[in-house]
Chains A and B, each alone.
Chain A
Amino acid sequence: MYDILTNIFGNQIVAYIIGAALPLFVWILPFVLFAVLGERKVSAHMQDRLGPMRVGYHGILQTVADLLKLLQKEDIVTPAADRKLFNLAPYIVFLGSYAAFAAIPFSSIYIGSGIEVGIFYILAVSSFVVVGILMGGWASDNKYSLLGAMRSAAQIVSYEIPTAIVVLTLVMLTGTLNLNTISQQQTAYFWNWNILGGAAGSGITQILLIPFMVIAFVILFISTLAEVNRTPFDIPEAESELVAGFHTEYSGMKFAMFFLSEYANMFAVSAIVVTLFFGGYQSPFGYLGNSLGIPWLIPVEQLFWFLAKGVFFVFVQMWLRWTLPRLRVDQLMTVCWKYLIPYAVFNLLIVGIISLL
Chain B
Amino acid sequence: METKTLKTEELILNMGPQHPSTHGVLRLELELEGELIVNVKPHIGYLHRCFEKHAEAMTYPQVVPYTDRMDYLASMSNNLGYAIAVERLMGIKVPERVEYIRVIMAELQRIASHLVALGTYGVDIGAFTPFLYCFRDREKILSLFEMTCGARLLYNYIWVGGLSHDIHPDFVRLTKEFVEYFRPKIVELNELLSFNKIFIERTANIGILPLDTAINYGVTGPMLRASGLKWDLRKNDPYSIYDRFDFDIPVGEGEKGTVGDSWDRYFVRVQEMEQSLRIVEQAIDQIPEGNVHEAVPKRVKPPKGSIYSRVENPKGELGFFIISDGSVNPFRMKVRGPSFVNLSVLNEISKGHLVADLIAILGSTDIVLGEVDR
Contact = CB atoms under 8 A, between A and B. Distances in A.
Interface in B74-121: none
Given A328-B356, A329-B354, A322 B128 contact: yes
B45 to A, nearest CB: 22
Contacts of B136: 48
B19 A326 contact: no
B359 A324 contact: no
Contacts of B122: 325
B354 A47 contact: no
Given A243-B19, A243-B20, A331 B126 contact: no
B187 interface: no
Interface string A33-51: 0000000000100111100
B192 to A, nearest CB: 8
A330 B354 contact: yes
A146 to B, nearest CB: 9
Contacts of A48: 132-133, 136
Contact of B126 (A46, A49, A144, A326): A326
Contacts of A239: 20
B124 interface: yes
A330 B193 CA distance: 21
Interface residues of A, number: 28
A255 B354 CA distance: 28
A231 interface: yes
A279 interface: no
Contact of A328 (B20, B192, B196, B202): B202
Contact of B129 (A46, A241, A243, A330): A46
Contacts of A338: none
B21 A325 contact: no
A353 B90 CA distance: 87
Contact of B132 (A47, A144, A234, A328): A47
Contacts of A328: 201-202, 354, 356-357
B20 A325 contact: no
Contacts of B19: 243
Interface string B118-160: 0000111111110011001000000000000000000000000
Nearest to B19: A243
Interface string B317-346: 000000000000000000000000000000
B20 A324 contact: no
Given A326-B198, A327-B202, A238 B132 contact: no
B35 A147 contact: yes
Contacts of A231: 126
Given A49-B132, A241-B355, A327-B201, A143 B11 contact: yes
Interface residues of B, number: 29
B123 to A, nearest CB: 6
A240 B355 contact: no
Interface string A301-323: 00000000000000000000011
B21 to A, nearest CB: 4
A137 interface: no
Give the one of A47, A323, A328, A329 with max B CB within 10 A: A328
Contacts of A132: none
Interface in B8-62: 11, 13, 19-21, 35
Nearest to A327: B198
A232 B129 contact: no
A144 B15 CA distance: 9
Given A47-B132, A326-B198, 18 more contacts: A47-B128, A48-B136, A232-B126, A238-B126, A240-B126, A241-B21, A242-B355, A243-B19, A243-B20, A322-B129, A325-B126, A325-B196, A325-B199, A327-B198, A327-B201, A328-B202, A329-B354, A330-B354
19 contacts: A47-B129, A47-B133, A48-B133, A238-B356, A240-B126, A240-B359, A242-B355, A243-B20, A323-B127, A324-B196, A324-B198, A325-B122, A325-B193, A325-B199, A327-B198, A328-B357, A329-B35, A329-B354, A330-B354
Top-9 shortest CB links A-B: A326-B126, A325-B127, A47-B132, A240-B21, A325-B125, A325-B126, A328-B356, A240-B124, A325-B198
